[in-house]
Amino acid sequence: MHTSTKQTAAVIIAASFASTIGGLPFNSLPILLGSLADTFGFELQTVGLLGSICFAGYLLGTLSSVLIISRFCLRKLTLFCSLFSILLLIASSASDATLQMPLWGMIGFFAALMTCLGLRIIGQMANKERALGVRQGTELGVTALVLFILPAYVISHYGYAGAAISLSLIIVLLSFSVFWLPKDTHLESTDNTIKSQLNIPQGAWFALLVFLVFATGNIALWAFLERMGNAIALSPSQMGTVFAVLKLLGGAAAFSVALVGTRLGLRLPYIIVLGVLAIGVYLMWLSFDSASNQFVLFALGAWIWEVAFTWGCVFQTAAVARLDAKGRAIMLIPAAFGLSAMIGPALGGWLAVTSYDYILMLALLASVITVGCFLGPLARMQSQTTTAEISSIHTT
């Protein structure tokens, strides 16, 4: 029993590292976009478009994963995706401005495959909440280290090329977890066609749509956090501190949701998310108008916002899973996230030309719409689904 437990823990950690490889481009997005802008002199709209192209590739990767992951050896696929991600990052560091968009589109594609591979493995664990909590915490913990090192010690001295090469080295280290991935050639599945994946309940589709709105508004803010900090003249070391602590808090927030579980019910979590997120957005807004303490206001605002954003994502993912008992809808979360990450940066770049205040307003508005839906129709749908499941168990 102890051996089995150890093996399960090793698989969870290995799958978490695989997912982390895929999550690095997204989690490092503000730093990388800012570095690209400084290196190649990109305008704000170009920066937003570059982020959107990266996640267009990510979206394509999530949809393709349905047909790819179950057909190949997990270990070989992990090594293949890791190798190509490294080669693409190195090529990006050695290329000029004209090649960055196609290269980052391909980086997004392989990142999505790694994220979906990790989710598929973890989704087969018996204790899904604990496994997903470990996965999210691991991913954000590694990202916190990356975001602490890159701005202060790498980008400030070596620019974007240094950042790309550093990420390549991190992927090399994470890819050693391949030896603890399942030895079986394929993941167990009965029907992996796209048609079967899209055959999910209407309530789950609605929840995915609402999640798309929430993620789009907040990813627009996430993509321009570095540029916002740059606008109030934060130093590289200050930005490194902001992003490192931000991801540590995000990891802690994910673990806290796993610990709390369903104890807060179906509505209260969303009220808490909106209240905390509004405080974070307000503090960031104050940092632009403050004559002093700009770093403190911006840092506190970003950290508080990150906690609420993470809570919102985890609670909504749980809701999607609850609304589809067969577990197919949860595999569309990366696709929804990829689509929102494709739309959000472009929308943020368009708004940033006028004022960063509009990006803050977009994030808050998207969150208000989301919470309204989860307090009303989606809460009722989840209650009906839970009641039906309990009735089915008693009948059996």
- The answer to whether residue 364 scores a pLDDT higher than 90 is yes
N residues, the chain:
396
pLDDT recorded at residue 196? 65
**Which pair of tokens denotes residue 298?**
């911006």
Average pLDDT over residues 43-64: 83
> What confidence tens digit (pLDDT) does each residue in 258-298 have?
677 667 788 898 999 999 999 999 999 998 887 778 889 99
Domain ranges (residues) in the chain: 2-181+192-395
Asked if 58 and 338 count as a contact pair (C-beta separation under 8 A), the reply is yes
DSSP string covering 193-240, please?
Answer: -HHHHT---HHHHHHHHHHHHHHHHHHHHHHTHHHHHHHTT--HHHHH
State whether the Cα torsion 349-354-357-360 is positive or negative. Answer: negative
Q: What's the CA gap between 210 and 161, in Å, rounded?
A: 37
- The answer to whether residue 189 scores a pLDDT higher than 60 is no
Helices (H) and strands (E) in the chain, counts: 16, 0
| Domain formed by 2-181+192-395, architecture | Up-down Bundle (1.20)
> What confidence tens digit (pLDDT) does each residue in 82-105 have?
999 999 999 988 888 788 889 989
pLDDT band at 219 (very low <50, low <70, confident <90, very high): very high
- The answer to whether residue 234 scores a pLDDT higher than 50 is yes
Higher pLDDT, 55 or 207: 207
> What confidence tens digit (pLDDT) does each residue in 313-349 have?
888 887 887 787 766 677 678 788 878 877 888 898 8
Residue of 102, 101, 132, 129 whose CA lies nearest to 115: 132
Higher pLDDT, 208 or 345: 208
Who contacts 375 (Cβ-Cβ below 8 Å, separation ≥6)? 267, 270, 271
Q: What's the CA gap between 207 and 222, in Å, rounded?
A: 22
pLDDT recorded at residue 142? 82
Amino acid at 150: L
pLDDT band at 3 (very low <50, low <70, confident <90, very high): very low
Q: Which segment, 19-33, 182-196, 208-222, 251-265, is predicted with the most confidence on average?
A: 208-222
pLDDT recorded at residue 163? 87
pLDDT recorded at residue 194? 60
> In 3-state terms, what secondary structure has residue 359?
helix
User: Which regions of the chain does DSSP assign to beta strands (E)?
Assistant: none
